[in-house]
Amino acid sequence: PVPMNAMSAPGLQPQQLQPQQFQLQQPGAPATPENYDAVAVPDWAKAWKHYRWEEAKEAWEKRDSLFIDARGQSEYDQAHIPGAISMPVSDFDASYKKYESKIKAAKHLITYCHGVGCQLSNKVAQKLWNDKGYRNVGSFFGGWPQWQEHHMPVESGPEPKR
């Protein structure tokens, strides 16, 4: 097969191949909530709520929501949202069993992971929604990166302290 390039593609003229306009951030500039909120939610993850920064912060401050860290255990141990439980996708069943009473007692379940582009929090939310039947589950779209960018409190260790 002969590779096609823009000049040989039938029906395309060189002037039609303009680069798209993107607004790039300066290197090292913190992402803003608008950057996170503009990313589309995958079709398979649209059944549950997706929390924006302000909503996640408010839920954490009210202390009636349980944050669920979907990142790996070692990342959770290093630092996590205060009060969050660790529930990596690969260890979902054991984590669920360990924290079942906390999960059942929570008004809202909010999963989070590495933020935009990472689907671990949606995968844990999907298991809670589909496999366990929870309808009070949602995913914090900005996740751990957005939490840190806003200089929110963090805790470390293998168990939640809050």
Span 23-75, pLDDT tens digits: 333 444 444 444 455 467 888 899 999 999 999 999 999 998 999 999 999 99
Q: In what order do the strands lie in the sheet with 49-51?
A: 49-51, 137-140, 108-112, 65-69, 85-86
DSSP track, 102-127: HHHH-SEEEEE-S-TT--HHHHHHHI
DSSP symbol at 4: P
Dump pLDDT digits (tens) for 103-155. Answer: 999 999 999 999 888 999 999 999 999 999 999 999 998 999 999 999 999 99
Alpha-helical (H) ranges within 9-159 are: 33-37, 53-62, 73-78, 92-105, 120-126, 143-149
pTM over 0.85: no
Residues facing 139 on adjacent strands: 50, 111
Q: In whole angstroms, give the CA distance from residue 74 to residue 52.
A: 26
